Structure 1
Amino acid sequence: MMRSAKWNRTVVIVTTLLMLAVVNWAIWQKERHLAEGEIVYLELAPVDPRSLMQGDYMALNFALGDQIQTMLHQAESDNDLLKASNGVVVVRLDEQRIAHFQRLDDGTSLADHERQLRYRLRNGQVRFATDAFFFQEGHAERYEPARYGQFRVNTQGEPLLVAMYDDELNQLGETTK
């Protein structure tokens, strides 16, 4: 009986340490992604900005996602493309690092000004990293002029949303004076 209790305690300790290691590894990867990822701006598309049930947040939809949707619907004869839940889009970055749709990734080599961005199809909608930007309750007016989402994109094309920006690429929110 005593041996079983020691074994159980050892299993619990090892499992806990393993879980902590996995969680810390994931945090380290996200922090590295935010620190080293390439800055890319995606233009927002109109969407309802509030939900009273979950506090204040801005529901996000991106113009690039709408362009991808259009291309996917035009490719209706390609059933594999339509059934995909994830994909890659090739964008061109202008001098301000704003992403512009080029094509769905077809394996063609990228030009110097082109980048790949991973997207996900969820409930028939194209999503980049998230579909909402949460902010402190009562601060909605600070984000009303939002026109761009700033992302950090890693070498695999995975975007992480960092902040919201206005039409002149001024950051909105806490740092805005």
Structure 2
Amino acid sequence: MKKKTKKNLIEYGIIFAIFAGLYITGLHTEVLGFLQRGVLATGLMDPDLDKNADLAVNDTNSKADFSMSLINSKGENVAMEELKGKVIFMNLWATWCPPCVAEMPGINKLYKDIDKDKVAFVMLSIDQDFQKAIDFNEKKGYDFEIYRSNGPIPQMYSSQSIPTTYVIDARGNLVLTHMGMGDYDTKDFKEFLKKQY
């Protein structure tokens, strides 16, 4: 009995040491994000495009708030007002959030495949240190621009869950809110975006 207990303690010690090492090096987010990409592949986390059932915070087709001021990775000010007339894919994320890290490769593929004259991507980092988000984006080689808010985020886009994704149609209506990670690089989601032009 003592041998079994000692063996179990050693096994738990090794597992603890691995997780502690991942946490200390900051790789735990990457590892968990990688594992969660497997969950994304099942399609269970995809946004409900048929009924907009994920609009938990806002009413369907409510007018979007364009009062937000943004700063991009180059330090330039961008008024959300400038994006009016385009479909806006806005994603709230952070570098320390494993589900955010998990969905980023799919978002980047979507970004590469979408008409940028008609769709604007606002990848809104909520990291306290924006430089971490900039470094993360550069390290990963993602093609989309990242932003931070230059002031308070309008109540309409406040969420207790990250990642949270919003889609605003070309007429300025908030047409989708999806809380949690999702796979956006799908045929259905691309068709949904095209319908919002």
| TM-score normalised by the chain length of structure 1 | 0.30
Structure showing greater Rg: 1
If each structure's helix is expressed as a fraction of its own residues, which one has the higher value? 2
RCO (CA 8 Å, sep 6+): is it higher in 1 or 2?
Answer: 2
Structure with more of its chain in strand, by fraction: 1
